[in-house]
């Protein structure tokens, strides 16, 4: 590109891709075959992984970035954007994923954190990042570090939407509170939330996050997708929910349709018929604290 | 104004149209097309939107409406969906715009960029083109005007009431392209009213 006014990977380019994924479903895939099924079902992007969160939970041990060969094979197999996960704070994994040309990096609590104090400085990359959050303060800290998309953490690999609901309500409620505050209270709010003051002021003014706000962590059914969208999520990630279910292709397609027509219960009902068993699920209240992925990162 | 809201950046188009005081309606099923003066097809994933278009029979409804004179403006994936021909792909499409497009033709996300795009008829100041995994037009049919090129590549075209861009004016504050489309819609409406009166 010879033009002198051409600038690559601007902030608008990064947030712009997140903007293009709105209203869509991003699916976890562990093989080329999965990726093709996901694309065929209408996924707007795939997350290339070695193991879905449910299997990471079952296997235990340190969960790391996936094999670059698998990521490259999936990138070659589909025409939609391909995302991949790096460990929290593991900027070398992120550099490597960027060099492979992945379209989005998820700095993810689903993998074992590499740094318990610092997240990746995402401004330093030309590839956009998505990060998880449990509340508004955490969302704004990640945006401050350069995340171009925010998602709820939920509790991945459980097939239980309760934590995603909790986190989405915390983010949306937090924004409503900031909006209603008189200006003199904003600095104290920023201090208490541990969030950048300028972003707190922006939410007070606009009532919305400056980057797209998606949901992840426990979504397993078309109705779960509809619920998260009605609570304010602009798109959804489905991890184990599809390929750990009885009929992945049909479920994937049903969740895509339910996500588009989330406010039309008759459509969500129609696509929910005869999908077979949802994924094996876990009661989050019975998880030990160290088994909770959502509490990784800060 | 109708904005196709199956998947993608439909909210950004609504926000842009609000700055022009234009009322919008989400289009997700054929009946949503009744009474709209024009239709915007946003960026997003063209394969996803294409599948959802077929599901509700919206593809047929939009094609018929275009045949009856409905103006359409597509950005990025919108342009791909409007195109008659897509390089190396049989994916579902509307096929109303007589062009061939190549998807992700400038590369992956890490190659996404911004650049100044000259469109003479919109004024001397260039439009800031935001290109995101963008397509470009490989060839155009006889009825298609080329509005803009970037490095020799065709990135904006018009065919009568159909307007398409490979980039995303809706992600900027420059509303000239939306205004131009609005003019097309108002012209179409005048023609329609004229013909019923006459």
Domain count, chain B: 1
DSSP character for A46? E
**Within a 13 Å sphere around the CA of A290, how many CA atoms are in the beta-carbon half?**
2
pLDDT at A206: 97
Q: Which domain, by its residues, includes B82?
A: 2-197
Q: Please say if the pLDDT value at position A174 is more than 50.
A: yes
Question: A9 vs B104: CB contact, 8 Å cut-off?
Answer: no
Q: Tokens representing A102?
A: 């992945």
Q: Please say if the pLDDT value at position A161 is more than 60.
A: yes
List the CATH number of the domain containing B67: 3.40.50.880
Q: Are B72 and B58 in contact (CB under 8 A)?
A: no
Is B185 annotated as catalytic?
no
pLDDT at A185: 98
Question: B112 vs A17: CB contact, 8 Å cut-off?
Answer: yes
Q: Please say if the pLDDT value at position A254 is more than 80.
A: yes
- Counted across chains A and B, CB pairs separated by less than 8 A come out at 130
Kindly state whether B92 is in contact with chain A, defined as any CB-CB distance less than 8 angstroms: no
Kindly state whether B105 is in contact with chain A, defined as any CB-CB distance less than 8 angstroms: no
Question: A261 vs B28: CB contact, 8 Å cut-off?
Answer: yes
**Nearest chain B CA: its distance from A134 CA (Å):** 25
Query: Rounded CA gap, A104 and B198, in Å?
Result: 56
Q: Are B70 and B39 in contact (CB under 8 A)?
A: yes
Tokens 């298609």 sit on residue = B144
Question: A257 vs B5: CB contact, 8 Å cut-off?
Answer: no
Residue in chain B lying closest to A17 (CA) = B132
Q: φ and ψ at B44, to 5 degrees?
A: 155, -150
In chain A, count H helices and then E strands: 13, 9
> Of all residues in chain B, what percent are helix, strand and coil, respectively (each to 5)?
35, 30, 35
Which pTM does this prediction carry?
A: 0.96
pLDDT in tens, chain B (198 residues): 999 999 999 999 999 999 999 999 999 999 999 999 999 999 999 999 999 999 989 999 999 999 999 999 999 999 999 999 999 999 999 999 999 999 999 999 999 999 999 999 999 999 999 999 999 999 999 999 999 999 999 999 999 999 999 999 999 999 999 999 999 999 999 998 876 554
Query: Rounded CA gap, A147 and A180, in Å?
Result: 26
Residue B136: strand, helix, or coil: strand
For B192, other C-beta atoms within 10 Å of its C-beta total: 13
Residues of chain B neighbouring A44 (CB-CB closer than 8 A): 7-8, 44-45, 48
Kindly state whether B150 is in contact with chain A, defined as any CB-CB distance less than 8 angstroms: yes
Q: φ and ψ at A171, to 5 degrees?
A: -65, -50
DSSP character for A51? S
């Amino acid at each position: 590109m010879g033009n002198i006014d051409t600038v690559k990977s601007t902030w608008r380019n990064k947030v712009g891709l997140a903007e293009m994924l709105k209203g869509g479903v991003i699916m976890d895939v562990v093989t080329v075959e999965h990726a093709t099924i996901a694309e065929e079902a209408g996924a707007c992007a795939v997350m290339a992984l070695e193991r879905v969160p449910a299997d990471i939970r079952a296997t235990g041990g340190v969960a790391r970035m996936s094999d670059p060969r698998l990521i490259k094979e999936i990138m070659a197999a589909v025409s939609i954007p391909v995302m991949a996960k790096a460990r929290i704070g593991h900027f070398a994994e992120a550099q490597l994923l960027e060099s492979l040309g992945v379209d989005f990096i998820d700095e993810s609590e689903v993998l074992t954190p590499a740094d318990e104090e610092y997240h990746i400085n995402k401004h330093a990359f030309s590839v956009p990042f998505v990060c998880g959050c449990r509340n508004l303060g955490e969302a704004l800290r990640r945006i401050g570090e350069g995340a171009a998309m925010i998602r709820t953490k939920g509790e991945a690999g459980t097939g239980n939407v309760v934590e995603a609901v909790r986190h989405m309500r915390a983010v949306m409620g937090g924004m409503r509170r900031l909006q209603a505050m008189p200006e003199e209270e904003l600095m104290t709010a920023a201090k208490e939330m541990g969030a950048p003051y300028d972003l707190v002021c922006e939410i007070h003014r606009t009532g919305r996050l400056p980057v797209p706000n998606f949901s992840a962590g426990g979504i397993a059914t078309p109705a779960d997708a509809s619920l998260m969208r009605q609570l304010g999520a602009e798109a959804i990630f489905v991890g184990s929910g599809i390929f750990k279910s009885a009929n992945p292709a049909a479920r994937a397609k049903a969740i895509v349709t339910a996500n588009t027509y989330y406010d039309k219960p008759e459509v969500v009902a129609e696509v929910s018929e005869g999908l077979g068993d949802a994924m094996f699920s876990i009661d989050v209240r019975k998880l030990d604290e160290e088994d909770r992925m959502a509490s990784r990162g800060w | 104004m109708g904005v196709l809201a199956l998947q993608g950046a439909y909210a950004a188009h609504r926000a842009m149209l609000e700055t022009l005081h234009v009322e919008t309606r989400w289009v997700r099923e054929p009946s949503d097309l009744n009474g709209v003066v024009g239709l915007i097809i946003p960026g997003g994933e063209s394969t996803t939107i294409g599948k959802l278009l077929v599901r509700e029979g919206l593809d047929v409804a939009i094609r018929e409406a275009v045949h009856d004179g409905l103006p359409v403006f597509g950005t990025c994936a919108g342009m791909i969906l409007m195109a008659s021909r897509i390089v190396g792909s049989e994916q579902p499409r509307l096929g109303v715009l007589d062009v061939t497009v190549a998807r992700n033709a400038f590369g992956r996300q890490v190659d996404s960029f911004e650049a100044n795009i000259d469109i003479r008829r919109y004024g001397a100041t260039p439009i800031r083109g935001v290109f995101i995994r963008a397509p470009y037009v490989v060839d155009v049919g006889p009825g298609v005007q080329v509005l803009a090129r970037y490095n020799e590549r065709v990135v904006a075209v018009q065919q009568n009431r159909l307007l398409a861009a490979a980039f995303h004016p809706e992600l900027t504050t420059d509303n000239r392209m939306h205004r131009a489309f609005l003019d097309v819609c108002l012209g179409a409406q005048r023609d329609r009213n004229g013909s019923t009166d006459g």
